[in-house]
A and B are shown apart, each in its own frame.
Chain A
């Protein structure tokens, strides 16, 4: 670990909070912002999600990883109200959230992005951003008809939006239709738009997929700064370097269940995790990229 002398306060706080947390599935956290119990979602015969217990530490960056089809996106959908579980309960800031519609979940301060990006194509980039702001007076029909009632608030919102656009390198696209953005730019826009809500917790579903490496670095910096602002971040990601770089805690899902938890280093050395990713026949030694490539080759030739 880096020398503790120049660790930013947010990181230090997160480390301190997670210091004594046991490295096991469903571990209790010191100050959880989100607690879920027995959340089950079945699609016909397939149990996509079966999470017994999970806690997300407030103010920390938690990564949710797992192989394709592990149930990460489905779990996000359940937590944010976009999908209904067959059973289960969860609380956010001690508010029970089961059965709460998505828009109310967002208003309570838990905002998510989508794996399949949802840019609002025929709205300009800046309007996409402005839409994210909550508590807008002009969003009621009658008040909206009288610009004097919302002009000043609109200016504040626009200012905040412009700052974020600069941060996400989208300021040059400000007036363009969001539909004209590239795939990576849409990811960026969606993340920036979610931040316009000023949530307590953001849930990012593969935020960096398709974003170029140079920009990834600056975005990682941005995500880290969210932690310094006291925001909680839960994100799904397949890029292990990124997970290692920014997360304080890692939760691993496999076949709908939480199979491991811990700090990035311990989790990635965990044989169960490697098995989940590479198949049960793996011998559990530390893996390198050549080995993974060999596995993939082998899988392909089976077909």
Chain B
């Protein structure tokens, strides 16, 4: 078995652009779900509108890159308002249904308006200005283990800065009286109302904040791939983000980052190990062929998540005492 390859891809996935994008999506989702108790199943749409906002502004309309960034962020805010206004007065489960539908609509709109969005092929050629700012001249190689191109290094640097900013904002916001109201809303909206707080307004603020933080992940995906495609922003994206939030521990500031690192590390590790093990004969082919290994990795990760929820419902970094309170 080639342990260098296995170790290399696993380690890379701890810090690469994919992990960063999901971490940002999960940081936003954690604001929604972990802190506010909003069941947003349409997080992918926030990343989608930001990514397409940027890509369309530059590639379709030929406007400047920085304007694309603003358009992307504004799109995320508008999406939050569109989702929130009709649903935040209703019970929590309605938001779940509306958001899952809205995310699919957004994705299909990216396909539908192909004149502007490039249809299912998506858009390219919007990231030149971004890479023109790249300060890295050469690739990074650590032995035969890890290698990142100069472009990868640049998007990773920006991505980690975005993570640092997002985590700081969440940290400060949740330690403030504002965060106290947000967490109280998760526990019991009516109690918070009875104390004179405008619950709908706070829920809207949380929806916007989590959406905007998540949308930063959309930039990382778009710029990292130098392309956007509608199907990147499907429902399974949101489900992975949920898995990451729960893995790290809901309502933990660093939970989503750690969760994303572990999630992608495990997936990469299993993904690299299984084919190697089959080739080396450690796993007999009657059990699993190399082509089946791709499906098995998700089965294993799913099993792992189930075990985690059974034996550590608070996630890896959560507080067991806190989770157990729910049982009362």
Q: Shortest distance in angstroms between B323's beta carbon and chain A's nearest beta carbon?
A: 9
- B138 CB to closest chain A CB (Å) equals 39
Given A141-B173, A144-B178, A145-B176, A179-B191 contact (CB < 8 Å): no
CB of A31, distance to nearest CB on chain B (Å): 25
Least Cβ distance of A78 to chain B in Å?
Answer: 14
A113 to B181, CA, bound (A): 18
Q: Is the CB of B190 within 8 A of A82?
A: yes
What 0/1 readout, one digit per residue, does chain B (210-230) give for beta carbons within 8 Å of chain A?
A: 000000000000000000000
Give B175's nearest chain A residue, CB to CB.
Answer: A147
Q: How far does the alpha carbon of A127 sit from the alpha carbon of B177 in the complex, in Å?
A: 9
Contact with B325, one of A82, A106, A121, A147 (Cβ below 8 angstroms): A121
Contact with B along A7-43 (1 / 0, CB 8 A): 0000000000000000000000000000000000000
B209 interface residue per 8 A CB criterion: yes
Q: CA of A131 to CA of B182 in the docked complex: distance in angstroms?
A: 10
* Number of chain B residues close to chain A: CB under 8 A: 32
Stretch of B8-16, B60-68, B141-149, B196-204 contacting A (4+ beta carbons < 8 Å): B196-204
Bits for A81-114, please: 1 = Cβ < 8 Å to B, else 0. 0100000000000000000011110110001111
By the criterion CB–CB under 8 Å, are A179 and B179 in contact? no
Contact assessment for A194 and B173 in the assembled complex, using a CB-CB cutoff below 8 Å: no
Please indicate the chain A residues that have their CB under 8 angstroms from the CB of B279 in the complex. Answer: none
Question: Once the chains bind, are A154 and B177 in contact (CB under 8 Å)?
Answer: yes
Instruction: Give complex CA distance A197, B321 in Å.
Output: 29
Partner of B187, one of A123, A139, A154, A196: A123
A72 at the interface (CB under 8 A from B): no
The answer to whether B193 and A103 touch across the interface, beta carbons within 8 angstroms, is yes
Check if A120 sits within 8 Å of B187, measured CB to CB. yes
Hey, which chain B residues are within 8 Å of A145, CB to CB?
169, 172-173, 176
Cβ of A150 within 8 Å of any chain B Cβ, yes or no, is yes
Query: How many A-B pairs fall under 8 Å by CB?
Result: 115
Q: Flag if A121 contacts B328 (CB, 8 Å).
A: yes
Residues A106 and B194 in contact, CB atoms below 8 Å apart: yes
State whether the Cβ of A80 lies closer than 8 Å to any Cβ in chain B: yes
A131-B180 contact given A121-B326, A177-B322, CB 8 Å threshold: yes
Contact residues in B for A194 (Cβ distance below 8 Å) = 194-195
Q: Does B188 contact A (CB under 8 A)?
A: yes
Report the separation of the CA atoms of residues A131 and B180 in the bound assembly, to the nearest whole angstrom. 7
Q: Which B residues lie within 8 Å of A128 (CB)?
A: 184
Q: Which of B193, B195, B197, B328 contacts A82 (CB 8 A)?
A: B193
**A138 in the interface, Cβ–Cβ < 8 Å?**
yes
Contact between chains at B198 and A147 (CB < 8 Å): no
B184 touching A123, Cβ below 8 Å: yes
Residue of B nearest to A77 (CB): B190
Contacts of B328 in A (CB 8 A): 121, 179
Evaluate contact between B187 and A134: CB separation under 8 angstroms. Answer: no
What sequence of 0s and 1s flags, for each residue 184-200 of chain A, a beta carbon within 8 Å of any chain B beta carbon? 00000010011011000
Complex formed: what's the CA distance from A145 to B139 in Å? Answer: 38
Chain A's closest residue to B321 (CB) is: A177
In the docked arrangement, what's the CA distance between A140 and B193, Å?
16
CB distance from A187 to the nearest CB of B (A): 13
- Assuming the A-B contacts A118-B190, A120-B188, are A197 and B195 also in contact, with contact meaning beta carbons closer than 8 angstroms in the complex? yes
A147 to B171, CA, bound (A): 12
Q: Determine whether B186 belongs to the interface, using a CB cutoff of 8 Å to chain A.
A: yes
CA distance A190 to B184 in the complex (A): 13
Min distance, Cβ B14 to any Cβ of chain A, angstroms: 30
Task: Give residues of chain B (269-328) contacting chain A, Cβ–Cβ below 8 Å.
Answer: 321-322, 325-326, 328
Q: Map CB proximity to A onto B25-55 as digits: 1 under 8 Å, 0 otherwise.
A: 0000000000000000000000000000000
Q: Check A68 for interface membership: any CB of B closer than 8 A.
A: no
**Which B residues touch A197, using CB under 8 A?**
195-196
Quick check: is B96 within 8 A (CB to CB) of the other chain? Answer: no
Q: Which residues of B contact A150 (CB under 8 A)?
A: 176-177
State whether B188 touches A144 (Cβ < 8 A): no
Query: Across the interface, which residues of A come within 8 angstroms of B209, CB to CB?
Result: 141
The answer on a CB contact under 8 Å between B176 and A144 is yes
In the complex, are the beta carbons of B191 and A120 less than 8 A apart? Answer: yes
B192 within 8 A of A: yes
Verify if A227 is at the interface (C-beta below 8 Å from B). no
**Bound complex: CA A209 to CA B195 (Å):** 21
Q: Which of the residues A82, A106, A114, A147 comes within 8 Å of B196, measured between beta carbons?
A: A106
Which residue among A101, A120, A190, A194 has the maximum number of chain B CB atoms within 10 Å of its CB? Answer: A120
Confirm or deny: A216 has a beta carbon within 8 angstroms of a beta carbon on chain B.
no
A132 at the A/B interface (Cβ < 8 Å)?
yes
Q: A103-B199, A179-B325 are in contact. List 12 more A-B contacts (CB 8 A).
A: A102-B193, A102-B194, A106-B193, A106-B194, A119-B191, A121-B187, A121-B326, A127-B180, A130-B177, A131-B181, A139-B177, A150-B177
26 A-B pairs with CB atoms under 8 Å apart are A80-B194, A103-B193, A103-B195, A103-B198, A106-B194, A106-B196, A118-B188, A119-B188, A121-B187, A121-B326, A121-B328, A122-B325, A123-B183, A123-B184, A123-B187, A130-B180, A131-B181, A131-B195, A134-B196, A141-B173, A144-B177, A145-B172, A147-B175, A147-B176, A180-B321, A197-B195
B: residues with CB less than 8 A from A are 169, 172-173, 175-181, 183-184, 186-188, 190-199, 205, 209, 321-322, 325-326, 328
Closest 9 CB pairs of A and B: A144-B176, A179-B325, A144-B178, A138-B177, A106-B196, A118-B191, A120-B187, A102-B193, A107-B196
